[in-house]
Each structure stands twice: as C-alpha cells, then as structure tokens.
C-alpha cells in the first residue's frame, strides 16, 4: 500500500493550530468578523506586532481571510482547512476507534 504524502497545506494548518494564542484568535473570529484592531484589542497582554505575526501564520495556513474596507482590514475565519484536517485525520481515526470498541464488545 503506497502512502500518499500530502502537500504542505496540512503542515501549515497543524503549525498554526499548535499555538494557544492562534487558537484563541480563531475562537474570536469564529464568534464574528473582526477588524485587525479589534483582534489586537482582544489580546492586551500581547503587543500589536506579536498578534500580527501570529495572524500571518493563520493566513499562511488559509485559516483566516482578510478584506480591506476603507482603511480597515476585516478578518474572517476560513473553516475549510480545519474541516479538511478533521475529515482526513480525526474522522478516520474516530471511525477506526469505534469499530475497534465494537469488535471488543462482540
């Protein structure tokens, strides 16, 4: 059986999700679209530069999209990469675990 090597897309998503701050940023964007300034204000313990560096990692993983509205940049969660990770990694392993438990019960 040949193992298919996925592109770097999954690696970028896993890297982005490895940081607690980035996961918190995604949680904030899950609630609603926010401007860059609003997102920075939600994390006062971090300076703006740090938040923007983490935001770039999220954007590189295609987890966040931004669009300019006048002078503001509006950020939104892009959930498809997370769904792709779920479908490939979590869903398949969950099914295998349930089948194993079912076999043990039989």
The per-residue pLDDT for range 16-52, each reduced to its tens digit, is 999 999 999 999 999 999 999 999 999 999 999 999 9
pTM, whole model, 2 decimals?
0.79
Structurally, how many domains does the chain consist of?
Answer: 1
Strand residue runs (E) in 16-99: 34-35, 64-69, 72-77
What sign results for the dihedral spanned by CA atoms 56, 58, 64, 65?
A: positive
Q: What is the CATH number of the domain that holds 40?
A: 1.10.10.10
Indicate the pLDDT class of residue 13, thresholds 50, 70 and 90. Answer: very high
Q: Which domain holds residue 40?
A: 8-78
CA distances from 4 to 1, 8, 34 (A): 9, 13, 37
Mean of the pLDDT values across residues 90-97? 75
């Amino acid at each position: 059986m040949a193992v298919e090597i996925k592109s770097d897309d999954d690696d970028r998503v896993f890297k982005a999700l490895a940081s607690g701050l980035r996961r918190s940023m995604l949680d904030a964007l899950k609630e609603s679209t926010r401007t860059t300034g609003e997102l920075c204000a939600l994390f006062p313990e971090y300076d703006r530069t740090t938040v923007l560096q983490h935001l770039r990692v999220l954007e590189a993983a295609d987890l966040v999209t931004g669009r300019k509205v006048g002078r503001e940049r509006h950020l939104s969660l892009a959930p498809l990469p997370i769904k792709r990770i779920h479908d490939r990694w979590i869903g398949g392993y969950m099914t295998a675990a349930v089948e194993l438990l079912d076999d043990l019960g039989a």
